[in-house]
Each structure stands twice: as structure tokens, then as C-alpha cells.
């Protein structure tokens, strides 16, 4: 009776090398960032990779390989990244702060035109103003989307703003065509930061969202409120001193008027005496 031969899974040298490479990167870099590269054209991927050269190492390994590398790490916290790793992601290794690296990725994104069937991530609005479109089929195409127009000097002008696709809606062929003709690019392509591990802090950032415009807006609003409150309570710092002086001047004028009014009221009484 022949003994059964045990089946031993063969692991290629290239896979072993890839896992070793990932293990070394996990061990020796500060930040591990997971970014979505879904629907990212290869040309754009290469462009961003060149921009990040010297700042980050980029890998697009198979999930099972990165899982093996994470499992072999002595850092228990970093293993929590496994739940965040899905299809179409790139792994970035860097000594930069996680949010600094995420900002580099955000800055590398570029605007792109809409495609039929894409879902709008926010309301898409056509703004009023002149266009380079000439009267013809474009009139009916714009009208079908409820866009009001007028003709001026042989060109189509849009009279008022109009939302042509609402957030969450699929983009129709007509809407995509109109946006293309008006050079409206409502989407952006690039690496989308999802989460990161910071070895210095031994912390997972499960969600990374960077909105520079919104952050600046919030900072300006917070500064305005803090400034008004500081002036109200008379807190003297270089930023408030001119407002405090102005406030004191106004209050001084009010007190002067009140004081002069009291003197005028008291004069007749003194004369009678």
C-alpha cells in the first residue's frame, strides 16, 4: 500500500521577496497610508508616483501579501489596517506625518470630466455667464436640462445658475455632453487617502479627510468669534488693541454727552438758589 504524499504549497521567490520588502517597510517607516486608486488611469498613477519620489514608497500588492507582512509585524496596532484594505488600494510608506502625506496626495489630484453613469458626489451647477457655444443643437440640449439662455453676439449666454445633477444622482448622457461642451469638470482623479498608521504615535487614523477650503473657512470664523469676545471682555493683546482703543473712544464720547447733558439739566436749579 502506497503512502499518501503530503501536498506542500509552493510559494514563488517573487512572493517571498515582496512580503520581505513589505515587512522591512512596515518596520522602518513612520507612516503607512492606505489610499484608494479606484478608476485611476495608469498615466495619472505614474505622474503622482513621480511627484512623490523621495517622499514615499508606493506599493500595490495583492491583499494576501500585505496581510502576511502585517501579521508578521511586532507592532500589534498596525495589524488593525487589515480591515481597511480592500480592492483597488495602494500602500504608501513614508517618514512624513500621516496628514502631511495625505495633503500631498490631495494636492496631486486633478479635475476631470464627468462620464455617463457616474454618481455625483455633490450638486453639479451650471453658472451664469457667456459661453463659446453657438446657436444650434446646443440650445435644445441646454433647454432639456432646464438651463435658461439668451443669444448675445452670436453666442449662447446662460442667464442664471442651474443645478443639472443633484448629489447622489447618476449622470445622464445629455448632462455629461453639456458639461463637456461647457468645460465643466466636476470630478477629480488621484490617490484618495483612506486611513493611516503612525508608528511614532502608535496610532491608527481610521478616517482621513482633508478639506483645505472648509478648514480655512472654519479657522476664519473661529478667529472672528475669538476676536469679538476678546474685545468684549477687554482682553488686551496686539490683535485687539486697536479695537479696544476704538471702543474706548466711542464710549468716551457717549460719557461726554451724558455728562454735558447732566450739567445742562442742573443749571437752572443752581440759578434759582
Q: CA-CA distance, 51 to 108, in Å (whole number)? A: 8
Res 270 pLDDT > 60: no
Confidence at 273, pLDDT banded by 50, 70, 90: very low
Find cell 477629480 and name the residue: 188
pLDDT, one tens digit per residue, over 99-138 is 999 999 988 888 888 889 988 888 999 999 999 999 989 9
**What's the pLDDT at 84?**
81
Q: CA-CA distance, 193 to 205, in Å (whole number)? A: 11
Here the cell at position 66 is: 500585505
At residue 132, the 3 state secondary structure works out as coil
Find cell 518596520 and name the residue: 27
pLDDT, one tens digit per residue, over 51-107 is 999 999 999 988 888 899 998 888 889 888 888 888 789 999 999 999 999 999 988
Contact yes or no for 25/57 (Cβ under 8 A): yes
Here the cell at position 113 is: 470630466
Confidence at 175, pLDDT banded by 50, 70, 90: very high
Res 178 pLDDT > 50: yes
Confidence at 264, pLDDT banded by 50, 70, 90: low
In this predicted structure, which of 49-58, 109-118, 213-222, 237-246 has the lowest mean pLDDT?
A: 213-222
What percent of the chain is predicted at pLDDT more than 90?
41
Mean pLDDT of 245-272: 69
**What's the pLDDT at 218?**
64
At residue 40, the 3 state secondary structure works out as coil
**What's the pLDDT at 59?**
93
Mean pLDDT of 18-37: 91
**What's the pLDDT at 257?**
77
Here the cell at position 27 is: 518596520
Query: What domains can be seen in the chain, in order of their start residue?
Result: 13-109+190-210 (3.30.70.1730), 124-187 (3.90.105.20), 211-261 (no CATH)
Res 217 pLDDT > 70: no
Q: Name, in order, each residue with C-beta under 8 angstroms of 200's C-beta and a sequence gap of 6 or more.
A: 30
Contact yes or no for 112/162 (Cβ under 8 A): no
Q: Name, in order, each residue with C-beta under 8 angstroms of 14's C-beta and a sequence gap of 6 or more.
A: none
Instruction: Please state, in angstroms and as integers, the Cα–Cα distance from residue 258 to each residue in 241, 244, 263, 265, following that order.
Output: 26, 21, 9, 11
**What's the pLDDT at 162?**
92
Q: CA-CA distance, 133 to 183, in Å (whole number)? A: 11
Mean pLDDT of 159-181: 92
Here the cell at position 22 is: 513589505
Here the cell at position 14 is: 517573487
Q: Distance of alpha carbon 170 from its chain centroid, rounded?
A: 22
Contact yes or no for 175/147 (Cβ under 8 A): no
Here the cell at position 16 is: 517571498
* Direct distance between the N- and C-terminal alpha carbons of the chain, in angstroms, rounded to an integer: 140
**What's the pLDDT at 111?**
87
Q: CA-CA distance, 63 to 113, in Å (whole number)? A: 31
State the virtual CA torsion across 254, 256, 257, 262 in degrees, nearest 10.
130
Tell me which of 245 and 147 has the higher pLDDT. 147
Mean pLDDT of 149-169: 91
Walk across the sheet containing 129-130 and list its strands: 129-130, 155-158, 149-152
Mean pLDDT of 149-172: 92
Res 267 pLDDT > 90: no
Res 245 pLDDT > 80: yes
Amino acid at each position: 500500500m502506497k503512502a499518501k504524499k503530503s501536498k506542500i504549497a509552493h510559494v514563488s521567490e517573487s512572493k517571498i521577496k515582496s512580503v520581505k520588502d513589505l515587512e522591512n517597510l512596515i518596520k522602518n517607516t513612520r507612516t503607512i497610508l492606505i489610499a484608494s486608486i479606484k478608476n485611476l488611469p495608469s498615466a495619472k498613477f505614474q505622474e503622482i508616483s513621480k511627484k512623490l519620489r523621495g517622499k514615499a514608497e508606493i506599493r500595490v500588492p495583492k491583499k494576501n501579501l500585505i496581510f502576511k507582512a502585517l501579521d508578521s509585524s511586532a507592532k500589534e496596532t498596525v495589524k488593525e489596517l487589515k480591515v481597511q484594505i480592500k480592492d483597488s488600494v495602494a500602500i504608501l510608506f513614508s517618514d512624513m506625518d500621516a496628514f502631511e502625506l495625505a495633503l500631498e496626495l490631495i494636492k496631486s489630484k486633478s479635475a476631470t470630466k464627468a462620464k455617463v453613469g457616474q454618481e455625483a458626489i455633490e450638486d453639479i451647477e451650471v453658472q451664469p455667464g457667456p459661453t463659446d457655444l453657438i446657436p444650434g443643437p446646443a440650445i435644445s440640449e441646454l433647454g432639456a436640462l432646464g438651463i435658461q439662455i439668451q443669444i448675445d453676439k452670436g453666442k449662447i449666454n446662460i442667464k442664471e445658475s442651474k443645478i443639472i445633477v443633484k448629489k447622489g444622482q447618476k449622470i445622464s448622457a445629455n448632462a455629461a455632453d453639456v458639461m463637456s461642451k461647457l468645460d465643466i469638470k466636476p470630478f477629480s482623479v488621484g490617490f484618495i487617502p483612506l486611513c493611516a498608521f503612525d508608528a511614532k504615535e502608535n496610532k491608527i487614523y481610521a478616517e482621513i479627510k482633508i478639506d483645505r477650503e472648509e478648514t480655512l473657512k472654519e479657522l476664519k470664523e473661529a478667529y472672528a468669534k475669538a476676536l469679538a469676545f476678546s474685545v468684549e471682555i477687554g482682553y488686551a493683546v496686539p490683535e485687539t488693541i486697536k479695537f479696544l482703543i476704538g471702543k474706548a473712544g466711542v464710549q468716551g464720547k457717549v460719557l461726554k454727552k451724558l455728562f454735558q447733558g447732566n450739567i445742562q439739566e442742573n443749571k437752572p436749579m443752581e440759578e434759582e438758589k
